[in-house]
Amino acid sequence: MTDIISFYTNPLSRGRIVHWMLEEVGAPYKVELLDFEKGEHKQPSYLQLNPMGKVPAIVHRGVVVTEGAAICCYLADAFPVSKLAPLPSEPARGTYFRWLFFAAGCIEPAGIDKTSPRANEVRPSALGYGSYDDVMNTIEKAVTPGPYLLGDRFSAADVYLGSQLVWGLMVKSIEARPVFSEYVQRLSKRPAYQRFMEQSKELEKALKSRAEKA
Ligand SMILES: N[C@@H](CCC(=O)N[C@@H](CS)C(=O)NCC(=O)O)C(=O)O
């Protein structure tokens, strides 16, 4: 069993969240690129790892972890030296989980519904995220005054929620608010974020050249 993390991704996917997280953690990892065009994520060898046929996924010490938010939590706990998660004994752990789960359970579906509205409207009381406006206002409260979700302390929750904002502001599933762009700008100055962005461009090129050669 190896300690090196296998990271299954596509550079234009939610794998970007985990790529950034891996750079924050600083643990050794190996990228396994999956070409969506070729359907590599739907091949039996990958479906064995993730029956959803989706990325990201990691394999670490023989265990498969899928779901971007779960992977961020897992890595923060598996590499405590990175100090990306409050310990179970710390009250801030509650706030940390709150925003991680809010980002996965509320921000993500609210953003998708914003850009691709459902044919049949769902009652806000039945919808886990309530209303788009409530989600936007709640994010604003969460990142104010900042600089991070846990105040002065950067955590894996910022990697996950911050990634949702970076992507959402770009595709306009998250409305532009000054406080959102200020938060995102702060995050994008992090050396780990910049390394991930550079590497991600290289992965895109690698995937393109692999496709051209095939
Ligand atoms: N719930 C998963 C969603 C993963 C997901 O939807 N990944 C997309 C890329 S962003 C994917 O793999 N799409 C390929 C497909 O479904 O064919 C997570 O949060 O990690």
Which residue's CA lies nearest to atom 9 of ligand 1? 13
Measured between alpha carbons, how far is 24 from 22 in angstroms, rounded to an integer? Answer: 5
Distance CA 111, CA 171 (A): 9
Atom of ligand 1 nearest to the CA of 42: 17
- DSSP assignment of the chain, as one string? --SSEEEEE-TTSTHHHHHHHHHHHT--EEEEE--TTTTGGGSHHHHTT-TT--S-EEEETTEEEESHHHHHHHHHHH-GGG--S--TTSTHHHHHHHHHHHIIIIIHHHHHHHHS--SS---TTTSTT--HHHHHHHHHHHTSS-SBTBBTB--HHHHHHHHHHHHHHHHTSS---HHHHHHHHHHHTSHHHHHHHHHHHHHHHHHHHHHHH-
CA 145–ligand 1 middle distance (angstroms): 32
For the Cβ of 68 lying below 6 angstroms from any atom of ligand 1, the answer is: yes
- CA 71 / ligand 1 centre spacing (Å): 13
Neighbouring residues of 212: CB distance < 8 A, sequence distance ≥ 6? none
Give me the pLDDT at residue 211, please.
86
Per-residue pLDDT of the chain (214 residues; tens, 9 = 90+): 669 999 999 999 999 999 999 999 999 999 999 999 999 999 999 999 999 999 999 999 999 999 999 999 999 999 999 999 999 999 999 999 999 999 999 999 999 999 999 999 899 999 999 999 999 999 999 999 999 999 999 999 999 999 999 999 999 999 999 999 999 999 999 999 999 999 999 999 999 998 888 7
The one-letter amino acid code at 144 reads: T
- Looking up tokens 């999956």 gives 34
Q: Find out whether 37 and 13 touch, Cβ atoms under 8 Å.
A: no
For position 201, what pLDDT does the model report? 97
C-alpha 93 to ligand 1 mean position (Å):
27
> How would you list the strands of the sheet with 57-60, edge to edge?
29-33, 5-9, 57-60, 63-66
Q: What pLDDT is recorded for position 1?
A: 62
What pTM value is reported for the model? 0.97
Asked if residue 54 has its Cβ within 6 Å of ligand 1, the reply is yes
Which atom number of ligand 1 is nearest to the Cα of residue 14? 10
